[in-house]
Amino acid sequence: MPHPHARVFKEALQTLPLFLCLSCLSLPLGALEFAQNSSAQPSSADSSILNSSPESNAPKPKVRGKIVGGIAIKVNGDPITIHEILDLSAKQHITKDKAQAILIAQRLKTQEIKRLNISIDDVRLEQEIESIASHNNLNYQQFIQALHQQGMDIDTYKQKLKEDIQTRELMRNILLSSDTSSEASMRAYYNKHKSEFISATQVQTMRYSAKDPKLLERAIANPSVSLSGVEKTPEKLTLSMLNPQIAQMFSSLQIGEFSPILDAGNGSYVAFVVQEKIGENTMSFEEAKSIIAQKFAQEHQEQILDEYFEKIRQKSHIEHIRDAK
């Protein structure tokens, strides 16, 4: 049976949406899942899991009869204060036990990111911000101004974005390093579903490119109409030269079918419509392994995260020093 706190840790590792809508700018990035539904209230504990603000960490002066800023728990030596527990419990309207579980999960997540040396450089941050701005039909400076209007400076935003990218990378590492995809199980899947790995050697496409993804959506909905701002270019793709996952995506498309809209970087977006498939090639098992492993990881995601959390807790030294009262 998974540990009763396993769900909390799984929530702490949820994959976060890449793009931030303007109506969400005042929220911490870790709470973006709530911004997808404007009616969601911050009464759920989950919105705090990825965020621990400086205010919540700052020790408070002693109040008569209570050690408000005292240490309640140590997670591998990292302290969780009584104030943090009480503050989170009050803000999220949850029990102190639930607040403790969330804060322990936060500490374990942060420690895993550090142990695995998951670092995000400034170039990656700038690229992410440019993509977010472009998705909201803003240039870089306009996006920064929108942040200021919501009371957030760019340095604070970058720090939160960095933490969220690290969380996504940790999630990816956990799933792809799981042992659910044994050689035997992957080979059995390959032999049973070999038709999934038969592809054309080349695909003749029409490439649609634009700076605005919504403009691309309009072009895809009306491919016979020429839209200003959308460029169409014939392009023949040799699938063996592509990333296996991208090659698999093109193989699965039918004649006349569009690919999903892809981020081409530098504020540009592309989509391809398949016009012709040329040749036939059966992907070898070695070539298909990474695709099968990713498929297995997605199918067993909850089980993988539960088991990973169990292992981390078993290895960790979690010391309860005093109750939060």
User: For residue range 121-154, what is the model confidence (pLDDT) as tens digits?
Assistant: 888 888 888 878 876 767 888 888 888 888 888 9
* pLDDT at res. 71: 92
Digit-coded pLDDT (tens) for 231-275: 999 999 998 888 777 887 888 888 999 988 887 777 788 999 999
By C-alpha distance, which of 306, 41, 138 is closest to 31? 41
Instruction: Give the DSSP letter of residue 161.
Output: H
- Please state whether beta strands 318-320 and 78-81 pair in parallel, antiparallel, or not at all (unpaired): unpaired
Percent of the chain with pLDDT over 70: 77
Flag whether the pTM goes above 0.75. Answer: no
Query: Measured between alpha carbons, how far is 65 from 62 in angstroms, rounded to an integer?
Result: 8
Digit-coded pLDDT (tens) for 62-105: 434 444 458 999 999 999 999 999 999 999 889 999 999 889 98
Please report the DSSP string for 299-314 in residue order.
Answer: HTHHHHHHHHHHHHHH
